[in-house]
Structure 1
Amino acid sequence: MVNKKTGFRRISAATGYSISGLKSAFISEAAFRQECVLFLVLFPVALLLPVSYSTKLLLVSTLFLVLIVELINSAIEATVDRIGEEHHPLSAKAKDIGSAAVFICLIFMATVWGITLWSM
């Protein structure tokens, strides 16, 4: 019988894995580092803007969404690279689609921020 972690042990282990993943992405992914800087700059700006709480939440949500999608993209890229370094059309497609998801997310963030700032 396998001794599986349950309850607090499972949550503790999952938290450790998540922190490890964040560290790994920060160390190895320049785009993630840049988006973290963007987050650190814009997060306090969002909180200080004279807008409603729901608008502040929307602005902050777009920042978190960019980081989340970048992490997923990095995971896709790492998985594809693990499978093989040789060029394959499906590998390129997976990486390009992941990159496109980040791009769309950044456009969404810029749109929300732009509309909010323009309407002030």
Structure 2
Amino acid sequence: MADPDSVKTNAPPAATDGNQTYREPELPSFQRSRLRNAFGFAIRGFVSAVKTERNLQIHLCVAAVVVACGLFFRVTLLEWALLAMMISLVISAELFNTALERTLDRISPEYHPLTGQAKDVAAAAVLTLSLGAVAVGLIIFLPYTWELLSAG
């Protein structure tokens, strides 16, 4: 008789908690394809936004500079976590703002004061988060910069 653990399966390897062995249930093929589609839709949306949204392009360039500075200054793990969180929050806010603007443009192509206010508030949210990210960046990078300038 074949050992049950030697049977080929697409399921993840068995894990143990001391006394018993258990396996994560394998997703049915229709759920795997739905998950794959969801990632595909998300990637397609991200690429579309990057191609058409100048502010998102700017945020991504600033994020690249921040990552380069983090590598240059060899920031701590906690500082990397804060930088990654702020980068992802700002980019996510910009993506939400883009989604809201496109939805409002589709619903109400003609100008309406409430549509304008909604777009302004969404843009203000991105600005507020971006200013918070700048503050975090300054708190992290100013001491490194000061040390570099003082040593020179």
**What TM-score does the superposition give when structure 1 sets the normalisation length?**
0.87
The residue that corresponds to 2:143 in the other structure is: 119
Between the two structures, name the one with larger relative contact order (CA 8 Å, sep ≥ 6). Answer: 1
Partner Cα separation in structure 2 for residue 10 and residue 47 of structure 1: 37
Contact 1:46/1:60 (8 A) holds in 2: no
Q: Aligned-pair distance for 1:62?
A: 0.9
Letter of the aligned partner of 2:126 in structure 1? V
Q: Superposed, which structure 2 residues align to 1:27-106 within 5 Å? A: 27-106=51-130
Letter of the aligned partner of 2:65 in structure 1? V
The residue that corresponds to 1:14 in the other structure is: 38
**What TM-score does the superposition give when structure 2 sets the normalisation length?**
0.70
Letter of the aligned partner of 1:41 in structure 2? V
Aligned length, in residue pairs: 116
Partner Cα separation in structure 2 for residue 48 and residue 34 of structure 1: 21
Q: Which runs of 4+ in 1 moved over 6 A?
A: none
Q: In terms of Rg, which structure is larger? A: 2
Letter of the aligned partner of 1:8 in structure 2? R
5+ residue gaps in structure 1? none
**% same residue:** 31
Letter of the aligned partner of 1:68 in structure 2? S
Superposed CA RMSD in Å reads 1.6
Partner Cα separation in structure 2 for residue 59 and residue 48 of structure 1: 14
Structure number having the greater helix percentage: 1
Q: Aligned-pair distance for 1:27?
A: 1.4
> Which deviates further from its counterpart, 50-59 or 75-84?
50-59
